[in-house]
Amino acid sequence: MTDFPFSDGVQEIDDAKQLVLDELSEAVRISKQTLVSWTDRGLIEASLGWGLSDLNEELRLIEISPASLDFLRSFAGEYREDTVSRTEARRLLKLIDRNQVQRLIRQGSIKAKKVEGETRVSVGSVEDYLMDLEGPSEN
């Protein structure tokens, strides 16, 4: 990951950067749901808020420390290449019914492969699926 293609969505705020959540999600290719979860769980040093665009539309903002932003830049690719169990995929997708994950695999919505006899789900495909569900931002 190199530079983020942010337009005017970046502002220096003290020691943190305030970014539009949609733009950060697209730049690191990690769903907004995951970024919000990581923020809520304290896995990244960030806080969430709201702002207004130049067109007076609400925007979901994330104020993130430079260290966390650097971490996301370096970690995102590795994270997307990882594989997880179907149980962990259910947690990432926030699904309760275990058959739903199997259905998504059969439909080709998420990718899975056998690793040492166990079905493992591609985290990148889960993130892509979540980003598709989130669709273009209509904040």
Which residue matches tokens 């896995």? 43
pLDDT value, residue 13: 39
Rounded Cα–Cα distance for residues 49 and 99 (Å) = 35
Q: What is the pTM of this model?
A: 0.76
Which two structure tokens, joined as six digits, stand for 131? 């980003």
- pLDDT, one tens digit per residue, over 8-66 is 444 443 577 899 999 999 999 999 999 999 999 998 999 999 998 888 889 999 999 99
